[in-house]
Amino acid sequence: MINNQKIVVVLPAFNAEKTLEKTYREIPLDLVDEVILVDDKSNDKTVQKAQELGIRHIVLHSENQGYGANQKTCYREALSLNADIIVMLHPDYQYSPQLIPSMAYIIAHTIYPVVLGSRILGRGALKGGMPLYKYFFNRVLTLVQNILIGAKLSEYHTGYRAFSRSVLENVNFIANSNDFVFDNQLLAQIHFAGYEIAEITCPTKYDKDSSSINFKDSFRYGLGVLKTSVQFLLEKTGFFHFKIFQQH
């Protein structure tokens, strides 16, 4: 705990057998109260590895539902365990678990209710091996999103995020996509609800075992990101209304 706030780390897992142990070993378990792993019907031994590591809260999807659906389960489970602070960490070892204390501290002391680990602040992205085309589209999409949403984030596409309980209770994340665009819909909801977001510099590790979507899926994701930002603008101006921006 930090400041009497219960901290739960959620791991949305899919074929993470090779990287799960490295990720889990660096989670500061003296500070983190619970770790939840949600397996989205992996084709490898992710679940067996999680059991060997002693992860107590393992949730299995009976079929592959998608990255967004995995997060929905993660957040529902964390809230059911009475988490005050929920940290979402990919188990592919792309992000450093050692930043969990810093991210949780910001929320526990009510400085900001949401914290993102940004690969773009500093030189972490390219230095850590982010493919150049991904970096380029990250920058372009983030620029467009900042204009449409009226924010000033360094990136919207990081998979390293921490939330206060109240944020997840007050945005309708269940209405979001089950696919990769879930991440951006959630940030759009958070902005729409008026929550402020902090960012901290996060070193990034891209290697052969890190999860990554292919170019075709990246293109589809980019279109979904732009659609979400336009929906945000239309909702904000009152021209149209969309389910994701409605309260539960």
Q: What digits encode the pLDDT tens for the residues 197-209?
A: 999 999 877 666 5
Q: Tokens for 192, please give them.
A: 């729409």
> If pLDDT is split at 50, 70 and 90, which confidence band does 184 have?
very high
Reduced to 3 states (helix: H, G, I; strand: E, B; else coil), residue 234 is helix
Per residue in 211-233, pLDDT tens?
556 667 788 899 999 999 999 99
Q: What is the residue-wise DSSP string for 110-148?
A: TS-SEEEEESSSTTHHHHTT--HHHHHHHHHHHHHHHHH
Task: Answer for the pair 179, 68: CB distance below 8 angstroms, yes or no.
Answer: yes
In whole angstroms, what is the distance from residue 87 CA to residue 115 CA? 9
Nearest to 97 by CA among 189, 11, 33, 155: 11
Q: Is 8 exposed, middle or buried (0-12, 13-18, 19+ CB in 10 A)?
A: buried
User: Using CA of residue 165, residue 78, residue 190, residue 143, what is the dihedral sign?
Assistant: positive
Name the residue type at position 88.
M
Q: What is the pLDDT of residue 152?
A: 94
Helices (H), the chain: 17-25, 46-53, 67-80, 100-108, 124-127, 132-149, 165-170, 182-192, 215-237
- In 103-128, which positions are buried (b, 16+ CB within 10 angstroms) versus exposed (e)? bbbbbbeeebbbbbbbbbbeebbeeb
Q: Residue 210: pLDDT above 60?
A: no
The pLDDT score that the predictor gives to residue 171 is: 97
Please report how many Cα atoms fall inside a 13 Å half-sphere around the Cα of residue 83, on the Cβ side: 30
Average pLDDT, the chain: 92
Tell me what pLDDT residue 26 has.
Answer: 97
Q: Each residue of 88-145: pLDDT tens digit?
A: 999 999 999 999 999 999 999 999 999 999 988 877 667 767 778 778 888 899 999 9
Confidence of residue 248 (pLDDT cuts 50, 70, 90): low
The fold of 7-245 is Spore Coat Polysaccharide Biosynthesis Protein SpsA; Chain A (3.90.550)
Measured CA to CA, the distance from residue 246 to residue 57 in angstroms comes to: 31
Please give the average per-residue pLDDT across 55-81, as a whole number.
Answer: 97
DSSP state, residue 98 = G
Integer Cα distance of 240 and 19 in angstroms:
43
